[in-house]
Amino acid sequence: MKLLFLGDSITDCGHCFSEDGLGDGYVKMISQKLNDSHSSYDPGCGNSISGLRREEFHVVNGGTDGFTFPRIYQKWRQQYSSENWDIVSILGGVNEVGAIMDSGLSENAVSSLLASSEQALYMLLRRLCQKNVRRILLLEPFLFPYPAYLANWMLTLDRVRSMIRNAASMAEPAADSAAGPAPGFSASFRKICLVPLQPALDAYASEHGFSSVTTDGIHLTEQGHRIICDCILNKYSCLHCGHAMDERRC
């Protein structure tokens, strides 16, 4: 099973400077849990990954600090498009928010930036579908009002999330297409799975404070990465056992 994680600094986590190439964030946590032969991780769908052999999971961190969707797409084309992947996870969008909020762009320029990012994400998703990736996990970006000025970024974050969902809806192949259901899945199987992260992060922060999940309102603490790891593995476990995914989870 080959898993590729694309994204920005939240995925990157210094992976180019780590011995195993995974960094020190949620990608490494996922690899450790999937490859731990003694793990009994079960996120609630009745599927345990205990006893799976270590060599069954090949995890690659393809995140890069500062990347927007056009650059994520470009990196995939240049470095990863020649390989076959079982699962591809994509987490981006917060750098689009930062570019809009930090630059004083006009509304026309903002619309142009979002359209460019939407087109790049759409092309990435379509190419992944055409290569018959079994499941594409499209993680939604998140922010916290910590420091308080980031509360002003939330409306722009909503626009970016809407752009992401629109690209996903356009790119999702029809059930009877060549890139339709993977073997063993029903006609209702959706190749592109949206994974909201903000609710799970906010739930923990509401009890323990924002500093428990984020260092600066954008990047995550170890606990924040652990929450993302669990959200992704909730989706992965259902994929592995062939059960329908619960979009309300996380």
The CA distance from 112 to 91, in Å, is 21
pLDDT at 249 over 90: no
Does residue 22 sit within a domain? yes
User: Which domain does 11 fall in, by range?
Assistant: 2-241
Summarised one tens digit per residue, pLDDT across range 113-123 is: 999 999 999 99
Q: 185-219 burial, b for 16+ CB within 10 Å, e for fewer?
A: beeebbbbbbbbbbebbeebbeeeebebbbeebbe
DSSP state of 187: T
**Residue 224 maps to a domain:** yes
- Helix, strand and coil in the chain, % to nearest 5: 50, 10, 40
Query: 237 — alpha (psi -120 to 50), left (phi > 0) or beta?
Result: alpha
Tell whether 120 is covered by a domain.
yes
Residue ranges of alpha helices (H) inside the chain are 9-12, 26-35, 69-75, 94-103, 107-130, 154-171, 198-208, 222-241
Domain annotation covers residue 165: yes
Which CATH number is 44's domain given? 3.40.50.1110
Would the pLDDT of 188 be above 60? no
| Phi, psi angles (nearest 5°) of residue 13 | 50, 40
* Mean per-residue pLDDT of the chain: 86
Note whether residue 161 is domain-resident.
yes
Residue 247 lies in a domain: no
Q: What is the mean pLDDT of residues 168-193?
A: 65
Provide the domain count of the chain: 1
Q: Is residue 125 part of a domain?
A: yes
- Is 250 among the domain residues? no
- Would you state the pLDDT for residue 32? 94
Q: Read off the pTM.
A: 0.86
pLDDT band at 132 (very low <50, low <70, confident <90, very high): confident
pLDDT in tens, 164-178: 999 999 998 875 555
User: Quick one: tokens of 187?
Assistant: 């006609």
